[in-house]
Amino acid sequence: MGKIGLYLCECGPNIAEAIDLDRITAEIKKDAKVAGIERFKLLCSEDGKRFVTESIKERGYERVVIAACSPKQHQATFEQVVANAGLNAHVFQMVNIREQCAWATPDKEQATSKALRFIRAAIGRVRYHWPLEQKEIECSPDTIVIGGGTAGIEAALRIAQKGRKVFLLEKDEPGGTRRDREWMAARVDALRNNPLIEVYEHCKIRELLGFFGSFVAHLETREGNEVQLKAGSVVLATGAVAFDPTGLAGYGYRELEGVSTVREFEKAASDASDGHPKSVAVIHCVGREKLGYCSGTCCVEAMRVARRVKEASAETEVTEFYRDLCLPGTEHDRFYHETAKTGVRFVRFRDIDVAREGPGLVVRYRQEDGSSGSVVADAVVLSAGVAAGPANAEFARMFNIPLDEHGFFQSEHPVLNPVGTVTEGVFVVGGCRGPAGALDATAQAGAAAGKVLSALVPGRRLRLETRTSEVAEALCVGCGICVAACAYGAATLNEDRHIAVVNEVLCRGCGNCAAACPSGAAQHRQFTTRQMDQEVTQILR
Amino acid sequence: MKGKRIPVDGSVNDTLRSVLALLLKATDAVMVPSRIPSKESFAYLLIRDPKLLEAATPLAPVMPVQGARALQSMGRGRGGLPGILCVLRPCEARAAIELFKRNQVDLEDVLLLTIDCPGAFPTRDYLGNPEEFDRRFEEILQGKQDDGLRPDCKSCVGFSLQEVASDVHIGLLRGKPGEVAVVHRSDRGERLLADAGVAGDDGISDWEAGVEKEARVRTGARDSAFQEMKGRAAGVDGFEKLFADCVNCHNCMRVCPICYCRQCFFDSGDSVRLRAEDYFARAQHRGGIRFPGDMMQFHVGRMYHMALSCVACGACEDACPMDVPVSRVFAFVGAGVQEQFGYAPGRSREEAMPMTTFKEDELHAFEDAGGISAPGTTETQSGKSKDQDSEGKVE
């Protein structure tokens, strides 16, 4: 089993004052399972790290237990320290006696007993730790970007700017929902003229196979040809759709002439050449309740309508009806004040109803204080929220990434990894991951481009997760329960041999398969039956 | 429901044999329990030659081999081989479907034929006096009650076509001489009956009423069996008592159709054994421990693996040399777990196993109720263990 060295970190006063380290030392000595116990003020300091490395070498420890803070904080630090001493990083077990003992248990006696159980568990399990091999694969540095809207174009241009090949796949033509903006034409031109970007228009993605560093996309071109593209990462930028207010009571959409959505109104305005309306009413928050969230981008869109109308004809009266104004940040606030200065009237409503009376439309509203009023308008513009694209479900299945309750792609973590997903190497940017203004979409695309560029450097090999699962072929009966339990598509059935196999590159080491396997065939390399048995036995002893 | 009514000619098994002979013409082979040459027991035969059907006993007085196990032993992925009609009791058919869901049996070209099950005698009882039990079984087929059937059979509520996805079913209208009613339950079954000339449009409501009446009686028997088990299986103490006579032979696992592991974890030697020092530590802590130490772990582990799919066929208890009421415990626990997940083993080929699906709202009712507990036993249970703890500390 090898000589075990135990290191106790005092973490300044954090651990030393809350836990009786002398008692722990004495008890562990009595157990006689470790070859040596060392204590240090701050193991994560440069001195501390050097101390551990030196003493492992000096005393010839073959297994190492470090009782300190949370592995979330310093697992990687100490793995490196152990590796520096010439050992495999996995013959080491970290014990959290700070967050889980010193900080969580106020009674010193109890905290000490708890820490003792944890340390014994770690000593018990580390006896059954074996070196794990660090594997690498060669990656493809190319990127597939799906969707040619604001976010997709930005991501493609940023990645290509660094000399990297990009395939941009678009179901329609590049431009996205902002294709009418003046700046978009230049972006599309830049995209089409970039020699490193191959644009596939009017194509359909049939399948995506593979994993981070080595994806293969099968697509069907407009001409009906099957094309295979290889890339190391994928950026999903499939956008969102505008909420359809058809059938929503009180707005008269598709029932009353003169009621239109923002996009319809803008299109009609750019096509029309005759005269200007006398009065326009813009209603915010259409579909807000049905969607269940504030899209955060439509207030500005609605005000942009007012600005355009005013620019075309300053005499036209414009009223913006809103429930809540969502104007995050300085830019949007400035835009609001400038809009108000142009003479646009802002009215806050609680209930609203659009009806046709004679030649015009009448918008009747009631306010929070119960007072009510009405505005006569030639045109009523409905500013609706943003809804998830209908194709999201199909992409979610293909890429093995979850959708949130509203049908948008879920990022791996809203703060820690906002553009990454549970499928490594697949990024989500722009409207497909939730309503996003042009600013947000661009920023997210930049973030994803940065991630792609830093993770997939040409010629670099990818280091794979070492703590993965494996299937013991002799025990596997090929029932496929692990395949259903695997969230990463790593476990698959080998039909010929009728056994399950784990793809080491896709496996994230979550251990679901090991827990679900009735035969004990699927095992996690760092949570073997024996390691867990020792751990639990020692904790409960 | 409509079907083909056929009057019993000779014995019930004679009539079933003649139906099978017709069906064999429309399929490639029939797999059916048959009397083995020594004439004292029964095994599954895969029959292609109609002459061999003479030994077939579609309804045998005992169930020494679970039919799903027999089907499984044919192996997987026959792909391209001809179609097989497999004759099974409803519980066996349910197990076959559970194995199908786990990739352990290929039902692609297998048609399942179920028959109203009269129950089976304990195999050991039967072997003691085969002639006597053959005679009693004939009487059961004619409608007589017999208290010597296995406990699981007496309280079986799935003896007919309840919750079983078979393709063809044969109902028994018991009496002298009685009738059998052949009905199809799937498109494939319908085609088979048509091809074999056994399709019919006869009214069978009298049989349906009979099944319903019998089901009510059995449900009553099952409820009281569960009630009794609820008392006996309560808590660790109750459980230990139930399994006290277990000799770790693992027969129950070997005959269980749902235990499909290539090698049972508990047969894998060292992987379950602790080091002597760890056993000493446990003995020291608890005052003493039982050896071999994995008996309870084996039963609880097996229960955890198969409770959702337990079809209460009773094969385990039939194979137990120590008369441990293993099947009755498993059936009781299985029924409770299956109810929690709204899952019925063998009900359909398509119904996904709860283990392989994630539903956000599942088990909420169960969690809110504080988990499964036999009514009135939770309090006494926790009270008791507390007492033991404090006693332990005094020592």
User: Helices in chain B by DSSP H: which ranges?
Assistant: 12-26, 67-72, 90-101, 123-128, 130-141, 151-154, 187-196, 205-232, 235-242, 251-255, 276-286, 295-306, 315-319, 326-341, 364-368, 378-394
Mean pLDDT of all residues in B300-313: 94
Q: Can you tell me the distance from the alpha carbon of A402 to that of A408, in angstroms, rounded to the nearest whole number?
A: 9
Q: Is residue B163 part of a domain?
A: yes
Residue of chain A with shortest Cα separation from B260: A477
Q: Do B183 and B242 belong to one domain?
A: no
Q: Do A36 and A117 belong to one domain?
A: yes
Q: Token digits for A30? A: 């009595």
Mean pLDDT of all residues in A361-381: 93
Contact B261 A484 (CB under 8 A): no
List of chain A residues whose C-beta atoms are within 8 Å of the C-beta of residue B257: none
- Residue B391: predicted pLDDT: 36
Q: Can you tell me the distance from the alpha carbon of A527 to that of A516, in angstroms, rounded to the nearest whole number?
A: 14
Mean pLDDT of all residues in A443-469: 91
User: Measured between CA atoms, how close is A491 to chain B, in angstroms?
Assistant: 13
Element containing residue A214 per DSSP (H, E): strand A214-220
List of chain B residues whose C-beta atoms are within 8 Å of the C-beta of residue A477: 102-104, 260-262
Task: Identify which of A360, A361, A343 has the alpha carbon closest to the alpha carbon of residue A352.
Answer: A361
Question: Is B74 an interface residue toward A (CB < 8 Å)?
Answer: no
Domain boundary (B157, B191, B225) is at B225
Contact A479 B305 (CB under 8 A): no
- Residue A360: predicted pLDDT: 86
The DSSP result for A260-329, as a single string, is: EEHHHHHHHHHH--S---SEEEEEEEETHHHHTS--SSHHHHHHHHHHHHHHH-TTSEEEEEESS----H
Q: Do A484 and A418 belong to one domain?
A: no
Query: For residue A182, which amino acid is it?
Result: E
Express each pLDDT in B199-233 by its tens digit: 999 999 999 999 999 999 999 999 999 999 999 98
- Residue A1: predicted pLDDT: 60
Q: Which domain holds residue A450?
A: 143-239+389-455
- Residue A193: predicted pLDDT: 96
Q: Token digits for A273? A: 């050449």
Express each pLDDT in A20-53 by its tens digit: 999 999 999 998 889 999 999 999 999 999 999 9
- Residue A26: predicted pLDDT: 97
- Residue A270: predicted pLDDT: 73
- Residues in chain B, how many? 395
Q: Which domain holds residue B232?
A: 228-383
Residue A517 has pLDDT above 60, yes or no: yes
Is the entire prediction scored with pTM above 0.95?
no
- Residue B383: predicted pLDDT: 37
Q: Can you tell me the distance from the alpha carbon of A307 to that of B240, in angstroms, rounded to the nearest whole number?
A: 80
- Residue B355: predicted pLDDT: 85
Q: Is residue B240 part of a domain?
A: yes
- Residue B393: predicted pLDDT: 34
- Residue A216: predicted pLDDT: 84
Q: Which of A258-272, A393-407, B44-58 comes out lowest in average pLDDT?
A: A258-272
Residue B112 has pLDDT above 90, yes or no: yes
Q: Is residue A117 part of a domain?
A: yes
Nearest by CB to A519, from B262, B278, B285: name it. Answer: B262
Express each pLDDT in A290-329 by its tens digit: 999 999 989 999 999 999 999 988 899 999 999 999 998 8
| Contact present, A151 and A444 (Cβ < 8 Å) | yes
Find the angle CA(A213)-CA(A214)-CA(A215) to the nearest 5 degrees. 120
Q: Which residues of A touch B (CB under 8 A)?
A: 474-481, 484-485, 493, 495, 498, 516, 518-521, 529-530, 533, 537, 541
Query: For residue A304, which amino acid is it?
Result: R
DSSP code for A464: P
Nearest by CB to B77, from A498, A518, A520: name it. Answer: A498
| Contact present, A436 and A151 (Cβ < 8 Å) | yes
Q: Is residue A532 part of a domain?
A: no
A261 forms bridges with which residues in the sheet?
A: A382
Q: How many helices (H) and strands (E) does chain A have?
A: 16, 28
Q: Do A120 and A18 belong to one domain?
A: yes
- Residue B392: predicted pLDDT: 34
Q: Do B267 and B212 belong to one domain?
A: no
| CATH code (residue A435) | 3.50.50.60
Q: Do A233 and A157 belong to one domain?
A: yes
| Contact present, A100 and A511 (Cβ < 8 Å) | no
Q: Can you tell me the distance from the alpha carbon of A432 to that of A438, in angstroms, rounded to the nearest whole number?
A: 13
Banded pLDDT at B234 (limits 50, 70, 90): confident
Q: Can you tell me the distance from the alpha carbon of A369 to that of A201, in angstroms, rounded to the nearest whole number?
A: 53
Largest CA distance in chain A: 96
Express each pLDDT in A265-297 by its tens digit: 988 877 766 677 889 999 999 999 899 999 998
A261 φ/ψ angles, rounded to the nearest 5 degrees: -85, 170
Other Cβ atoms within 10 Å of A193 Cβ, number? 8
Q: Do A18 and A128 belong to one domain?
A: yes
Residue of chain B with shortest Cα separation from A486: B356
Express each pLDDT in A108-137 by its tens digit: 999 999 999 999 999 999 999 999 999 888
Q: Is residue B109 part of a domain?
A: yes
Q: Is residue B232 part of a domain?
A: yes
Task: Identify which of B282, B246, B253, B247 has the alpha carbon closest to the alpha carbon of residue B267.
Answer: B253
Q: Can you tell me the distance from the alpha carbon of A208 to that of A229, in angstroms, rounded to the nearest whole number?
A: 10
Q: Can you tell me the distance from the alpha carbon of A1 to that of A126, in angstroms, rounded to the nearest whole number?
A: 9
Whose tokens are 């700070």? That residue is: A98
Q: Do B59 and B194 belong to one domain?
A: yes
Tell me what percent of the residues of chain B surpass a pLDDT of 70. 91
Question: Is B285 an interface residue toward A (CB < 8 Å)?
Answer: yes
Q: Do B199 and B250 belong to one domain?
A: no
Q: Token digits for A88? A: 């495999």
Find the angle CA(B378)-CA(B379)-CA(B382) to the nearest 5 degrees. 85
Could you report the predicted ipTM of this complex, rounded to two decimals? 0.82
How many structural domains comprise chain B? 2
